[in-house]
Structure 1
Amino acid sequence: MSRSVDVDVVVVGAGFAGIYATHLLRNSNGLSVRGFERGSDVGGTWFWNRYPGARCDAESIVYSYSFDDDIQQEWTWSERWATQPEILRYIGFVADRLGIRESYSFDTEVASISWDDEAGIWTTTTADGAHTTSRFVITAVGCLSASQVPGFKGLDDFAGEIYHTGSWPHEGVDFSGKRVAVIGTGSSGIQCIPMIAQQAEQVTVFQRTPNYTVPARNRSLGVDETALIKRIYPTLREKVRETPAGVIVKPPIGSVLDLSPEEARAELDRRWAQGGPTFVNAFTDTMTDRAANEITAEYVRERIRETVKDPRKAELLTPDNHPIGTKRICVDTDYYATYNRPNVDLIDVRSNPIERIGSRGPVVNGEEYPCDILVMATGFDAITGPLLRLGITGRDGWSLNEAWEEGGKSYLGLAVAGFPNLFTVTGPGSPSVLTNMIVSIEQHVEWISELLSTMEREGIQRIEAAPEAQSEWVDRVNAIADQTLYPETASWYMGANIPGKPRVFMPFAGGIDNYREICRQVAASGYEGFLTADGTASTSPKAFATATIA
């Protein structure tokens, strides 16, 4: 049985992924699209993360769309590492050029997405009770959009102002003359602490785990440099797609264990001076061999001790409980030097956790630290969190939360067994957060678009991941991760920052270049690993191809 639908496709989210999906499916596939976005405008992650110092850790010239040459020729980036306001302006510029907003309902939160197996359609229900039916649903909610606020006792009793970096006030926050407590020293904390310290009377940082961070070495992009980049953009984009992380990177010079200490030090010096996260890619064995990793890690520790004058602070800021690179490497501007300021203090909450939030501030080891403003730089329920908050229910009333009780499982990070015609852009099991997200987004959206074209051409009504293929893919993702040092660390890649969340390494660590080829092979084989049904005689999927992974 089938019945008419309101639109062909519902897209959830209006960030980079949602904008491109909406554009491509409307203009290339000729489908009707309705988008839903809980924010008041486009931007996704960059709409919400407006905290002071927010920047991208991929260089601006490649953290941008490649699908439209007119757009990349017309837009000019001002800096090597773009700020949040500039990225948000860019997203708005693209949305204007493509007429994206006309397809979206803004200030609209999705409450549930439910599959009707008999009719073969999805019903998306928004918080205001409105329903939209569609053949397909594409989630474009991003990997870092579900803010994590620890359940501190007494938080509601705090008399001051509370802000989370992942949901920052659009009007900004005035820290002048204020005592500020910052909880968390991950990427957002590392970026905002130096900026807040320049304005506040006093900043007290509460750190559980010190993280490795490398200097950004940000600079303006000159007119001649920009002109050159625009001339070579087609070649540059192609080269970027062929790299493991989707970024411009100097190749590693070999195994650090085969080099003399002087040679290794010289290469690390060069990369430290250059700046950026590719510092970690100096050697071929940094992420696979603990002894090799320790050479790069100790180099950063030495830099911390050189920079931070107070030995107590320097020791607290020195990471010692995880290999470098196994947590997302941070990129900073004057982060370590900020702790030399007389108005910045550092409190260790690993040995003595925060007991509660008092009316005047955080309480540690019986002492209350008074503050006027509390900044929660406490990160996100990453990758699976945004999807689990959508209330998705698939075949036989099976919820995504039930399907993922043991961790996020999907086929290629694109489809989930038991959830027909649902596609997850940069879902668990795809390269996503280990890469330049724009490169991964474009690859996913284009692959989905090609799949929908095939379904239309061949009269296929529904498609979903085969359970066997999904299981094999999950095993493959884990096997690749096990060849690296990633699983040794309790990181948000593993879901370790969320109490009760299953500890599963979620991204595909084999590189976007290899992953792209795998996806190409799956499509070329007739979408191997997927199940389909024509929607006319039976509601039970039948094998479209063998459910194995090449």
Structure 2
Amino acid sequence: MSKTQTLDAIVVGAGMAGMYMLYKLRQLGLETKVIEAGTDVGGAWYWNRYPGCRCDVPSVEYSYSFSKELEQDWNWTELMAGQPEILSYVNHVADRFDFRRDINFNQRVVSAIYDEGDKVWTLKTDTATYIAPICIMATGCLSVPNTPDIKGAESFTGEVYHTANWPKDEVKFSDKRVGIIGAGSSGVQTIPVIASEAAHLFTFQRSPGYTFPANNKPMKAGYMELAKADYAEIREEQRSSQTAVVYYSPYRSKNSGKDANNGAREVKRRPSKTILELTPQQRREEIQEFGYGILPEYFDVLRNTEANKIACDLYTENLKELVHDPAVAERLAPRELAIGCKRPVIDTDYYATFNRDNVTLVDLREEQIVEITPAGLRTEKRDYEFDILVYATGFDGITGALNKIDIRGREGRTLAEKWDHGPRTYLGLLCEGFPNMFTVTGPQSPSVLSNVLVAVEQHVEWISDCIEYMKVNSHASIEAALDAEDQWVEHVNEAAQGTTYTAPSCNSWYLGSNIPGKPRTFLPYLGGAKTYRDKCEQVVARGYEGFVFD
């Protein structure tokens, strides 16, 4: 028989969002438990242990800002931290604030049912039941692995792995033939590492995207000392940025002072704002100076068809210089795909990997998969044999984790029914008909289109302030008003219209297009993190305009 626990608040998920939510709820004096499916904290950084996994936000900026002491006692070792270092950081935070005593591990939530009479949520796992008036879903935007339904998948006799559910123990590729399906972010990051170890690597590319050099390197001596002194400025700039990423460098700081090498802080030249303002020669000169990773940073590339076409052509030119075999370079080119349709990927030596003799690129646009066989994989053209099969096939993004839970609000209406044609929220924080069920970085908020950790902190602080407001004003519950929810959904759709993200030729997980049967709708909010933050603050200043209290 499962045990029942009655609490003030329940948080689902012990990733970076769930941990900070716990911290804030403790400050409010609320008895809280966090429910986590894994064996420890970390969320995405706990599950995604695949070789080469790395954050695409600078380390200093991908860190909590809520504790000045924490900022000062942690030292990053790389500009772009890898998964092992980020998980070490998360564990350090959990230890420092003793979070684990309020986290129940090895429990996956299967249902969340609202009781209108008692105004409480009942959450059930396979081993326990939890009851509380407040339910906070910190389930993450990328937490449900997507494994394609391929004929014969169960027949393969070798080892099988998914990048989003990688084992804790080391996977050894030496002297092994490996097949990997997928060339999205996880594929791009892990392919160079696997290729450096495997006897042979077959990469089955479904749809190539745009990938740019991470330009990662170890921190210079003295870098963290300067960053720690600048943290207040970094946080202010992040909160004022539409992406919450400012690409901090102490060597081009606006502050006066000395750099780590005892010289004046360097003021580096910035690239132009738009690509259309440049001549063809100037464009190539800027690529030479700043690298081709500058292409998606031009403001007009994501908003103007002509600008995007210019950027795509320049990208393809550069790709042909990086990959020696013209036929392979052509297969790697993202044909008919605009820059911005999919999330740009950062990589380390991805294209150089295809110059190796032990790597074979199989373009599934030219030869589709027929089935997986006991010895490997069969396409329309031939059989491929290997010892290890890796799925790098991504996630059911943003709504996947919530849709896997049987969530029922007022009158027993399920969230799945409400979201039958796509998610409906107000600010990505609450839904009409589901009182006191908050979502951290939920659908229709900036989330994955910004620095997610900054988005997490903004949501957690908004939610905790809201709960405190309810307590002070004797409100039992809060939910979105239907008209406010309708207006926000319309605004989210309008913000994405006319951009490369929603072009008819674009099929990405931002639109749910990677999941068969999932409604095609733009899932995050494209209006910008700063614009969104201002809207949330305005709503509060107007007495939580658009929300209904009970």
- What amino acid does structure 2 have at the position aligned with 1:390? I
Matched, 1:96 2:95: yes
Q: Which of the residues 301, 304, 318 maps onto 1:303? A: 318
Ranges of 4+ aligned residues in structure 1 off by more than 6 Å: none
Instruction: Find the counterpart in structure 1 of residue 300 from structure 2.
Output: 285
How far apart, CA to CA, are the structure 1 residues paired with 2:113 and 2:175? Answer: 50
Partner letter of residue 10 of structure 1? I
Instruction: Describe the superposition over 1:169-188 as per-residue Cα deviations: whole angstroms up to 9, x where unpaired.
Output: 10020001000000000000
Q: Give the Cα–Cα distance (whole angstroms) in 1 for the partners of residues 387 and 413 of structure 2.
A: 46
Contact preservation (8 Å) 1:214, 1:279: no
Q: What aligned pairs does 1:77-476 form with structure 2 within 5 A after superposition?
A: 77-128=76-127, 130-249=128-247, 253-272=272-291, 279-281=295-297, 283-476=298-491
The one-letter code of the counterpart of 2:347 is D
- Which of residues 502, 511, 517 in structure 2 aligns to 1:500? 517
CA displacement at 1:263 relative to structure 2: 2.0
Distance in 2 between the 1:172 and 1:112 partners? 34
Q: Choose 288-297 or 508-517, whichever is displaced more.
A: 288-297
User: Where in structure 2 are the equivalents of 1:25-64 lying within 5 Å?
Assistant: 25-27=25-27, 29-64=28-63
Q: 1:269 to 1:81 in 2, by over 3 A?
A: same
Shift of 1:326: 1.9
What is the identity, as a one-letter code, of the residue corresponding to 1:359?
Answer: P
Distance in 2, Cα, partners of 1:490 & 1:336: 23
Equivalent residue letter for 1:230: K
Shift of the alpha carbon at 1:391? 1.6
1:98-122 Cα shifts (integer Å, max 9, x gaps): 1110111001111111101111000
CA contact (8 A) 2:52 2:82 kept: yes
**Alignment partner of 1:257: what SS?**
coil
Q: Are 1:19 and 2:19 matched, yes or no?
A: yes
1:186–1:377 CA contact under 8 A, matched in 2: yes
Measure the CA separation in 2 of the matches of 1:228 and 1:236.
11
Residue in 1 that maps onto 2:263: none
User: What is the CA distance between 1:234 and its match in structure 2?
Assistant: 0.5
Query: CA offset at residue 298 of structure 1?
Result: 1.7
Whether 1:529 and 2:546 are equivalent positions in the alignment is: yes
Tell whether the 8 Å contact from 1:5 to 1:135 is kept in structure 2 after alignment.
no
Q: Residues of 1 paired with 2:501 and 2:359: CA distance? A: 32
Cα deviation, 1:141-196, whole Å, max 9, x if unaligned, reads 11000000001111011111110000001002000100000000000000000000
The question of whether the paired residues in 2 share the 8 Å contact of 1:268 and 1:296 is answered with: no
Q: Deviations over 1:293-344 (max 9, x none)?
A: 1222222211211111111111000111211122000000000000010000
What are structure 2's unaligned runs of at least 5 residues? 248-268
For residues 63 and 321 of structure 2, what CA distance do their matches in structure 1 show?
36
CA distance in 2, matches of 1:79, 1:279: 24
2:265 corresponding residue in structure 1: none
Report the residue type matching 1:501 in the other structure.
Answer: K
2:181 maps to amino acid: I
For residue 279 of structure 1, report the CA deviation from its aligned partner.
Answer: 4.8
Give secondary structure in 1 for the equivalent of 2:8. strand
C-alpha distance in structure 2 between counterparts of 1:38 and 1:5, whole Å? 17
Alignment CA distance shift 1:486-1:157 (3 Å): same
Tell whether the 8 Å contact from 1:271 to 1:279 is kept in structure 2 after alignment: no
Aligned to 1:544: none
Say whether the 8 Å CA contact 2:271–2:290 is kept in structure 1.
no
Tell me by how many angstroms 1:362 deviates.
1.3
The aligned length equals: 524
**Superposed CA offset, 1:473-493 (max 9, x none):** 011011011142210111100
AA matched with 2:150: F
Deviations 1:382-427 (A, max 9, x none): 0000111122111111111111110111110111111100000011
TM-score by length of 2: 0.93
Q: How far apart in 1 are the matches of 2:318 and 2:280?
A: 16
Q: Helix, strand or coil: the match of 1:223?
A: coil
* Deviation per residue, 1:488-524 (Å, 9 max, x gap): 1111000000001000001111111110000000011
Distance in 1 (CA, whole Å) between partners of 2:172 and 2:54 is 19
1:531 counterpart letter in structure 2: V
Structure 1: which 5+ runs fail to align? Answer: 534-550
CA contact (8 A) 1:177 1:201 kept: yes
AA partner of residue 315 (structure 1): E
Q: What code does the residue aligned with 2:13 have?
A: G
CA RMSD after TM alignment: 1.4
Corresponding residue SS for 1:433: helix
1:223 and 1:383 map into 2 onto residues whose CA distance is 38
CA deviation digits over 1:345-384, x for unaligned, max 9? 0111123321111111111015221010000000000000
1:176 aligned partner, one-letter code: S
Equivalence for 2:264? none
**Matched residue type, 1:494:** L
Distance (whole Å) between structure 2 residues aligned to residue 251 and residue 467 of structure 1:
45
Aligned partner letter, 1:374: L
SS at 2:148 equivalent: coil
TM-score, normalized by length of structure 1? 0.93
Q: Distance in 2 between matches of 1:386 and 1:5?
A: 23
What letter matches 1:17 in structure 2? A
Q: Secondary structure at the match of 1:472?
A: helix
CA distance in 2, matches of 1:421, 1:407: 21
2-side partners of 1:319 and 1:185: how far apart? 11
In 2, the alpha carbon distance for the partners of 1:351 and 1:114 equals 48
Letter in 2 for 1:15: G
Give CA-to-partner distance per residue, 1:423-463, whole Å, 9 cap, x none. Answer: 00011100000011000000000000110011001000011
Match of 2:17, as an amino acid?
A
1:540 corresponds in structure 2 to: none
How much has 1:70 moved relative to structure 2? 0.4
